[in-house]
Structure 1
């Protein structure tokens, strides 16, 4: 029986999200002949972990749904065993990249990829704790509906299960590697306050994630659609498109991968917004089939990133995202030029080719990033108040920020070089069960 991993990485209290995820798992087994491993990777402190444990206990039992609720200690035990079994060099560094002392959007999902392999799952379906599902006529609109209809199937066969297709004929023999949608609601990056305070400053800041050589017009177009997802229009009926999915049309809170996540990891950069979006670009650039649907998730922001230390930390993560684009744009351009030559004879991504591009990018001149920091400094001081305070912090941390942006790509190259060995090791590494619970 086909086995999937429905996963929720979290570092915040989200019992309602856990309950909703349980409902999505129940929907999946009711409508498809599958086995679901519901994987909650919990980085919360003990009181919140206990709250989540109670939420898990309240989930209805089903013979084809197994819940794995793992705190960081159990995650570390599994990862240490898998890393050791892989035989790769620098095991301590690899373990640190996979479970860092700090926030990493990419690393938390990489852990899900590895544990999914250990659990025998052929696909990973990711959701986020700061989002919720839409409802229509009293029923919940679950993205897994579209994911399970097409993911992993040969594209030519999946064509009959979607509303429309515009996939090039040369791609029809490949399997659908990604199924995703976006979100409605608040901006995916918490910058609405800047836009409300000064639209011109918002344009200048958001435009910094574009390549430096872009024209003013292209930059304006990028700013206009950045971080807005699918807008605000609620779900009314299903639509799905078999295509080479535009990375701007999907979000990591609403995504599923088949195959590609076992060939290339996500960048494990610490404290960097957007570090988990790499595979979306890779699927597109390697010309792997995807399905874009419209069961968008509702995005919202929690309060901790808007006041005090949380605000300052969030702004630093955003600035690190801007700096990371110096390197990612280089890799994306090279991947787009390579196209399906990134695939081997079986249609699988060649991880070593991606690692080489990531490593190549680390030699780029960092003058472009120096200019980005100058522009952020000017913009934040114009906003004043707590943004000027952030500018002071960024100025004091300037050299470290520049170094981290480059070093993060070197870490990504290293992890990618080790990834297939880590996946193979994970497949034969047990996942420890919490005390008193199976699985």
Structure 2
């Protein structure tokens, strides 16, 4: 029986989301006859964890659905066992990369990947804790419906489950490594207020995300589509396409990934940096592996803590660090594009060695571009005034630290890539044991 992992990382109380995901898991079992492991990795404090644990405990048991709710202590113990079993050097550094004290979007998904491996799953189906499903005629449009039609299957077989195919016949034997929808609703990066205050400043800030080698016209076109997902058009009927996806059409919080992808390449372990969880998707797309994109988009919304006070500063600093990370990521992505199908081995799997070489080569990139980025941000934030002027003061005070951390993050990613295959193998051998601060059933 196919075993899959429906995965949720969370750092806040989200009992309603847990209930919704259990419903999606039950739908998958009833519709596709799979075994679903709902894995909730929870880094909240004790009070919030208790709310999430109550939601797990209240779930109606469903044959074929197994729920695992792991808190910080249980995650740390699992990771420690995996790292020790892998015999990787510097185990304490690896443990910090996998479960840092600070928020780390890539690290939390990496933990989900190892958890999926430990549970013996062949795919991971990723969601987040601030979304809703679209509802049509009282029915929730679960993305897992489209995902299980194709994920892991040879692309030639997956043709039968999609609305249309753009598959190159030469790729028919290659596995479908990713299936993704997008989102509707609010921007997936919380910078819409900048546009409301000053559209020109918004354009200048978002242009900082573009590769520096792009033309002015290309940068402007990128601004027009950035962070908007599928716009606002609601779901009508299922529509899906098989082929090499466009990176703009995939979304990390509404995606299924095959284990032959995530057990090869981990995500960036950057702390306090949004967008650090997309590198694997770039590798799959630039290697021209077949994938499926569909229109069971989730509905994105914002949690209120990121809009005011310390929460505002923290979130916006994550956006700043995202912009700075591009200096080191674009050489990697550009190298992936140049290598194309050269990123694949004879079994159509990702080769990690060329990717690791690209990452190591990016570490010493001239950071003049990041100096310029911070200059533009400082000028832009001060023009907006108010809380953005306060943000400019914080960024200015941390300028050297931010520059250093962006470079260090690239180096830390290289360390994790080098140890990842051994950790994935160790996770499969270790398994995932229920513990004192988690639940399974």
1:437 is displaced (CA, Å) by 4.8
Question: Structure 2 matches for 1:125-140, cutoff 5 A?
Answer: 125-140=125-140
Q: 1:81 to 1:379 in 2, by over 3 A?
A: same
2 CA distance for matches of 1:352 and 1:110? 19
| Contact 1:69–1:434, Cα closer than 8 Å, also in 2 | no
In the alignment, what sits opposite 2:252? Answer: 252
Q: Distance in 2 between matches of 1:427 and 1:189?
A: 34
Match of 2:399 in 1: 398
Query: 2:70, 2:439 within 8 Å by CA — same for their partners in 1?
Result: no
Q: Name the CA distance, whole Å, in 2 between partners of 1:89 and 1:97.
A: 13
Taking the TM superposition and a 5 Å limit, the aligned residue runs for 1:152-191 are 152-191=152-191
Residue pairs, 1:63-212, within 5 angstroms: 63-212=63-212
Does 1:262 pair with 2:268?
A: no
Q: Superposed, which structure 2 residues align to 1:290-329 within 5 Å?
A: 290-329=291-330
Task: Give me the CA root mean square deviation.
Answer: 1.0
Q: Where does residue 417 of structure 2 map in the other structure?
A: 416
Q: Distance in 1 between matches of 2:74 and 2:123?
A: 22
Conserved in 2, the CA contact under 8 Å of 1:352 and 1:416? Answer: no
Q: 1:47 aligns to what?
A: 47
Instruction: Tell me, in whole angstroms, the C-alpha distance in 2 between the residues paired with 1:87 and 1:144.
Output: 36
3-state SS in 2 of match to 1:256: strand
Spell out, residue by residue over 1:252-310, the C-alpha distance to the aligned partner (whole angstroms, 9 max, x if none).
Answer: 11011002001001111000010011111111001111000000000000011110111
User: Cα deviation per residue 1:25-76 (whole Å; 9 max; x = unaligned)?
Assistant: 0100000121000000001111111111111112121121110000011000
**Displacement after TM superposition at 1:165 (Å):** 1.0
Residue by residue, what CA displacement relative to the aligned partner does 1:314-336 show, whole Å, maximum 9, x if unpaired?
Answer: 11100000010111111111001
Whether the 8 Å CA contact 1:171–1:287 is kept in 2: the answer is no
1:432 correspondence with 2:426: no
C-alpha distance in structure 1 between counterparts of 2:377 and 2:165, whole Å: 41
Check the 8 A contact 1:285/1:339 in 2, yes or no.
Answer: yes
Q: Distance in 2 between matches of 1:195 and 1:84?
A: 48
Question: Secondary structure of 1:184's match?
Answer: strand
Q: Which residue of 2 aligns with 1:282?
A: 283
For 2:187 and 2:370, locate their aligned partners in 1 and report how far apart those are by CA, in whole Å: 25
CA distance in 2, matches of 1:103, 1:306: 17
Change (3 A) 1:257 1:362: same
> What does residue 60 of structure 1 align with?
60
Alpha-carbon distance in structure 1 between the residues aligned to 2:254 and 2:440: 28
**Contact kept in structure 1, 2:263 and 2:420, CA below 8 Å:** yes
Which residue matches 2:243? 243
Match of residue 336 from structure 1: 337
CA distance in 1, matches of 2:106, 2:300: 19
Consecutive unaligned residues in structure 2, runs of 5 or more:
none
Which residue is equivalent to 1:369?
Answer: 370
Contact 2:261 2:349 in 1 (8 A): yes
SS at match of 2:349: coil
Q: Deviation per CA, 1:100-119, whole angstroms, max 9, x where unpaired?
A: 01000000000000011011
Q: For residues 437 and 372 of structure 1, what CA distance do their matches in structure 2 show?
A: 45
Distance 1:313 1:438, change over 3 A: closer
Tell me the alpha carbon deviations over residues 124-180 of structure 1, each in whole angstroms, 9 at most, x when there is no partner. Answer: 000000111000011010000010000000001101110011122222210000000
- Aligned mates of 2:440, 2:246 — CA distance in 1: 40
Summarize deviations over 1:204-226 as a string: whole Å, max 9, x none.
00110001122111111100000
Unaligned stretches of 5+ residues in structure 1: none
Counterpart-to-counterpart distance in 1, 2:398 and 2:168: 47
Structure 1 pair 310–170 and aligned structure 2 pair: CA distance change class (3 A): same
Distance 1:129 1:71 in 2: 15
Instruction: Please list, as runs of the form range in 1=range in 2, the aligned pairs for 1:372-383 lying within 5 A after superposition.
Output: 372-383=373-384
Matched, 1:15 2:15: yes
Preserved contact between residue 67 and residue 439 of structure 2 (Cα < 8 Å): no
SS in 2 for 1:298: strand
Q: Any conservation in 1 of the 2:69–2:440 contact (CA below 8 Å)?
A: no
Q: Quote the Cα distance in structure 2 between the aligned partners of 1:97 and 1:78.
A: 14
Aligned-partner Cα distance in 1 for 2:439–2:373:
50
**Contact kept in structure 1, 2:99 and 2:108, CA below 8 Å:** yes
- Does residue 32 of structure 1 match 2:32? yes
CA contact (8 A) 2:229 2:249 kept: yes
Q: Give the secondary structure class of the aligned counterpart of 2:430.
A: coil
